[in-house]
Amino acid sequence: MKDFDPKTITRIKNISNKEYGKAYLDLVDKEFVLHYPNKKVNSILDAQTNEIVILYQKMKDGKRYLTHLVKPIDYKIIEEGIRENYKFGRIFQVIAYTGENGKIPFKDTLLSNLDFRNKGWGDAVELAKISKTNQIESIQNEIYTMFKPFFT
């Protein structure tokens, strides 16, 4: 999906895997189950199939990075028992994927100026809920440009 409107980048979600210190950086398929914390099961279907979600994560070096742009492909909750606190998920399609070597430092983006306290931790929160309305388009355009080399 190389051509899409940056305005469809509407949500952001923190991902983690404390066991490995990184999450979803070994993807081989274009579709994967994006897991949510069990306590966020009610928010799994919030993202619409026409919305693109930014995924970011804190790595072993203690810094946050943007690593994926993804979009949900349907409205089905998947239950898996792989990780005890992350049993539920949804199938997402990869739109852009930086891999380990191309990850985008969070601090180098407009997102670093926003207050993420109690937001985006587990659910795919709307950018409109964490940024001022006049910032959203700038954020969307910046993210689109930064991920462009990684479109799948």
Q: What are the φ and ψ backbone dihedral angles of 51, each rounded to 5 degrees?
A: -105, 145
32 closest CA partner among 73, 82, 3, 81: 73
How many CB atoms within 10 Å of residue 141?
Answer: 14
Least-confidence region, from 18-22, 57-61, 77-81, 84-88: 18-22
For residue 60, the model assigns a pLDDT of 86
- Rounded mean pLDDT of the chain? 89
For residue 90, the model assigns a pLDDT of 96
Task: Give the model's confidence band at 19: pLDDT under 50 very low, under 70 low, under 90 confident, else very high.
Answer: low
Q: Is the dihedral of CA 108, 135, 90, 123 positive or negative?
A: positive
Distance CA(107)–CA(62), nearest Å, equals 12
Distance CA(25)–CA(68), nearest Å, equals 9
For residue 80, the model assigns a pLDDT of 87
Burial class for 49, CB neighbours closer than 10 Å (0-12, 13-18, 19+): exposed
Confidence check: pLDDT of 102 > 70: yes
For residue 20, the model assigns a pLDDT of 66
For residue 33, the model assigns a pLDDT of 93
- The 10s digit of each residue's pLDDT in 52-70 is 999 999 888 889 999 999 9
Q: What are the φ and ψ backbone dihedral angles of 21, each rounded to 5 degrees?
A: 80, 10
CATH number of 6-150: 3.10.590
Report field, pTM of the whole predicted structure over 0.85: yes
